[in-house]
Structure 1
Amino acid sequence: MQKVYVLDSSVLLHDPKAVFQFQDNDVIIPFVVLEEIESKKRLQDNVGQAAREAIRNLDKLRNNGQLSQGVNLPGGGKMRIELNHYSKGILPVNSDMSMGDNRILAVSLSLAREEERTVILVTKDIAMRVKADALGILTEDYYNDKVSLPEIKDEILTLKLEDDEVAQLYQQNAIDWRESLPPNNCFRTVLSDHCVLPLVSSPDGHKLIYCLGQGRASWDIRPKNIEQSWALEMLHNPEIKLVNLMGPAGTGKTLLALASGLEQTVHDELYLRMLCARPIIPFGKDIGFLPGEKEQKVRPYMQPIYDNLEYLLRARKEKDRERSGESIVESAIDLLVKKKQLEIEVLTYIRGRSIPHRYLIIDEAQNLTAHEVKTIITRAGEGTKIVLCGDTDQIDHPYLDKESNGLAYIASRLKGQSFYGQVRLIHGERSDLATRAANLL
């Protein structure tokens, strides 16, 4: 039986194409939702972009008829703009009807009383779902882009190797495997002395690669656990164009990505430049507008990247400019920027760019939507490698959660592709204090 779905503005700002995702069911958009979306359309951030796209999609539907009367959707259902027809007293006494949320709730409650079909309010706003439930309105989260990742232990496969195969791995760092393997998958084998060897299947799935071959190290950084061994192998494999590193704080995601990038950009010259970026989403209360030029404004948001770079480069502290006019001593980071081997950018300016022959690191990628991640990956030009780093348990974006974010979306959609590899790091290596705190607090 067909259902009626009432969409909140948070759904359309999260996915501008949400009206097309409800199959043959009817979709209702309260008029107040249009007003809320219109108020966001002039913003220059991702919310403003989503608002503009949502309005364009609704404008195209006008070609199918009057939105107030209902227009046919490709999936078989209908979409209709609903006026705020609520009766006095439909909500609890003293409810402020000037609030957009209350007007949406009133529309949903009116429709539920009028319709013989099931009426469901769809919203990304947790508080809105709680209020709807208190009023007896059926409510759901927007599930279209939600994914469920398998358990970490289910992603790691164990292989049994013969003694001659182990010897060949030590000598040649790789062996041909007797059957087809999933590409770029993490494997382990346990030897007779209980030693564990980290292995990765090749992009074509025909070989097993020993991850510590020739004492794998990047910029003097060596792996401290088996997950980091898998990560470094994928980061250094030029055939793997997209690497997804997921794990809790302190597991070494950003450090390994930067170390590998410096090694391949500065030493090996496989890439013209290393480009580092992260979404501009503050943790806790925002401090407002920051003074200065673009570099000065984004520096506080990019500080974690600078911290890791300073650790890797062992940069000397800059001396204060002396009154005699002696020039300031440039740090190693500034030298790399000056030589155009390093670029630190904000994702706001990445749209429309074509980025060839770069080693591109996107930190805190869990705060990106599926659409934003797609936009970033499609910027990659010839010879570019992209590394995504993030933790789905540390999401600061108001409309994203563990099952609905760009990092999990990529892991779900691209697993098994020859150009894609992912490692889920577990063990914290930042410090004993950080590891214990992460486990106990």
Structure 2
Amino acid sequence: MTHFGIICPPYPGHLNPHAALGRELQSRGHRVTFLQIPDLELKVQSEGVNFYPIGEAIYQPGSIAETFAQLGKLSAVEALRYSVDFCQQMVEIICQDAPKAIAATGIEVLLVDQLEPVGETVAEYLNLPFICISCGQVIHRRADVPPFFTPWNYQNTQWAKIRNQVAYYFLDRSCQPILQTINRYRQQWKLPNYRHIYASNARLAHISQQPPAFEFPIPNLRSHLHYVGPLRNASPQLVDFPYDRLTTQPMVYASLGSVQNTKHTVFCCIAAACAELDVQLVIAHGGGMSAEIVQSLPGSPLVVEYAPQPDIMAKASLTITHAGMNTTLDSLSYGVPLVAIPITFEQPGTGARICSTVVGEVLSLPKLSVSKLRSTIEQVLTTHSYRKNAQKIQQSIQQAGGVKQAANIIEQVTQSQSYQVVEAL
């Protein structure tokens, strides 16, 4: 059996899918250990996966909560810029501590999130096999594929390629502090420099949470790229929910994820838009709203801190989301159409895929209004084609294999790698 190490960003949208993958691998007899900052110890252990701390000499306890609080106040490019400093600190932590942690724990293979690219550098330095995992969109770094942070649709034309390349150029420019820190260690470890951020060097396998149908029509995809669908299985954490308060009205489920959940004006707009419709609004705010703010929301929404999302999605008629990949895929797993309000990071790119697959509608955050949101909700609820298209994605998810297929691929390529090493000896 193999000991897998997980290196991923310290955000729930990445931790939860990786934890599901870890549980699946553990159920097959493997050992799995998260290498993470100390603040995440209880979270990781509550998900039933091993934890090993890194960054104890550098990391200031509580910094992640402060980072979340600040990111929750920002949107669009400002949020991206703010996150650079924290990402740079994570590079230092991983480069300084991960090699020692891997040696101490006996980790044999790394599972590296595409948004924590320095994990690949550590694997290359230690000559360890590694597999890239994309919890958000696959970042292709190809001229014909729009960058993840843009709302652009796929167009294989010369002008679109130029536009995409310009956007990628500015992405690399804005991420120079991260690239410079990674390259300082790569030079120290006698590895060639990285020229571009998020350009994975994975060769064994690159696994994506997207199902094949929820992607642009990109030609000539790499043979080691696998769209397996959402990485999900039962978490040991139990979430209480007041099911007795659900009505027979069509349910509209609203969530802004775990970082943007302090956008009170957006929640207020959602509540006001639903107040005059014959629907029951269920809001999961993830701890982002105080009791006073909850009481001030228009209408009579059912508001909870957390919801058992799969159970709720099974009952929902519509999901309102910030276009986070996890909530989007959970909704589509049940054939539920969406109204998306992208805020930052990869959310505009997820919104572009919602538009291209016509599983919902996307509204611009700066132009959001109660009347526009209400009419969009009515449109998606009453136009059958949105649900029909969402059900097509649902079928693609069911056929893609999910976390079990991801584990199959990981076992296959790591066994093949081990066989090649034995043959070489």
Task: Please indicate, yes or no, whether the TM-score normalized by the shorter chain is above 0.5.
Answer: no
Query: Which is richer in helix?
Result: 2
Greater fraction of residues in strand: 1
Structure having the higher Rg: 1
- TM-score when normalising by structure 1: 0.32
Higher relative contact order (CA 8 A, sep 6+): 2
